[in-house]
Structure 1
Amino acid sequence: MNHPFPVPIDYVEFTSPRLEETQAFMTDAFGWSFIDYGPDYRDLQQAGLGGGLERGPLRPPLVILRTEDLEGMLDRVTAAGATITKTIYAFPGGRRFEFTEPGGNGMAVWQPD
């Protein structure tokens, strides 16, 4: 499939069942800071790439791409063979969907408001 432009990696989300301990580790080991968004989510700062830390069961990091055409990207990844795992949903600041690519990696695409 030919693309008019590359779609950049914009954000990486980590999960941890022990959110506060993971946050403290990342601060101490890497010098990253966080903005707290409630008891279960932290926005990662100073890591060279946008990111987040979410309280929840441990899973591989989720790579998130940014687009200005969310529905168009949903069509593109579906046509390329992705399995949609979460349909488009809104969150503070934008909308996104999640999918697995044919090899099994979880990914997401978001569009800012």
Structure 2
Amino acid sequence: MLTTNFVPGTPNWLDLGAPDVDAAVAFYTSVFDWDFRSAGPEGGGYGFFLRDGKTVAAVGPLMEEGAAASWTPYFHTRDADATRAAVERAGGSVRAEPMDVFTAGRLAQFTDPTGAGFAVWQPGDTVGLDVVMEPETLCWTELYTTDAAAAKEFYAAVFSWSYQDMPMGDDVVYTVFSAPGGGVPDDPGQGGIMQLAQQNRDAGSGSEWHPYFATEDCDATCTRATGAGAKMLMPPTDAPGVGRLAMLKDPAGAPFALIKGDPDRG
């Protein structure tokens, strides 16, 4: 379970890289009960999604030539420069060198050995997201990867993650990851790792992280999203012991998921 009691290796920030920030803001504020606050002229187009005045995510323009719209999870670090070194030792690559964001904190962006982009946040004045696990906020992070074994080895080396493999039938294994001291005692997991099926890889799918947003009504939220231009990747589906979930792409192509948790879970 995600919490805002951030420790190294736990998700502590989330932002969207968008080709058109205004269009992204219009879409997400129509789907969720979110407001938007710009970071101001010095922010380079960056800004924050708020729910009831609390930061739940952020959005900014794409900064890399040829980059596709995507959500990027950030993981807590006490030392972004040390994490940079750990990433390179483990076979990852640096997309953006560690840099200070005024007095808010220090960030760096990386690509894991399987091709998935992620980032780290070293807190300054901004510790991280204000709220998670509530309706219309981040409640899970999930990596779809072309090589689950390599991904698990990499993130264990960088963040000291531990794993619990959960067989799902037909030789499919879902892996839940936990950072030391993260989560809550009876639910320490903060996200999952899933091997991409060969048919998805053959169709051109690559490694990428997806955020899950909690919802009180998965079907209704999906209807708002598709009505605002989202593409349905997986319609609302019941997952026993997990909840009702759906996967979509926003109008610019950034994937995200929705979930209404199973009240009987656990």
TM-score w.r.t. structure 1 length? 0.80
2:108 equivalent to 1:102: no
2:47 equivalent to 1:42: yes
Residue by residue over 1:48-104, the C-alpha shift from the partner in whole angstroms, topping out at 9 and shown as x without a partner, is 984211123643222211212222222222222111121111112111111100110
Match of 1:82 in 2: 92
Say what the alpha-carbon RMSD is for the aligned residues.
Answer: 2.4
- Structure 1 alignment gaps of length 5 or more: none
Amino acid at match of 2:60: E
Match of 2:14 in 1: 12
Contact 1:11 1:49 (8 Å CA) reproduced: no
Contact 1:65 1:108 (8 Å CA) reproduced: yes
**How many angstroms apart in 2 are the aligned matches of 1:108 and 1:90?**
14
Amino acid at match of 1:53: V
- Percent identical: 26
Amino acid at match of 2:115: G
Contact 1:86 1:98 (8 Å CA) reproduced: yes
**How many angstroms apart in 1 are the aligned matches of 2:78 and 2:37?**
25
Contact 1:65 1:109 (8 Å CA) reproduced: yes
**In the comparison of the two structures, how many residue pairs are matched?**
109
Following superposition, which runs of at least 4 residues in structure 1 exceed 3 angstroms of deviation?
Answer: none
SS, match of residue 61 in structure 1: strand
Matches within 5 A, 1:44-83: 44-46=49-51, 50-56=56-62, 58-83=68-93
**How many angstroms apart in 2 are the aligned matches of 1:74 and 1:50?**
26
Matches within 5 A, 1:18-33: 18-33=20-35
Amino acid at match of 1:51: A
Residue by residue over 1:33-60, the C-alpha shift from the partner in whole angstroms, topping out at 9 and shown as x without a partner, is 22211261111223x9842111236432
- Structure 2 alignment gaps of length 5 or more: 1-6, 125-266
Structure with more contact order per residue of length (Cα contacts < 8 Å, sep ≥ 6): 1
Contact 2:8 2:78 (8 Å CA) reproduced: no
**How many angstroms apart in 2 are the aligned matches of 1:16 and 1:85?**
17
Contact 1:34 1:42 (8 Å CA) reproduced: yes
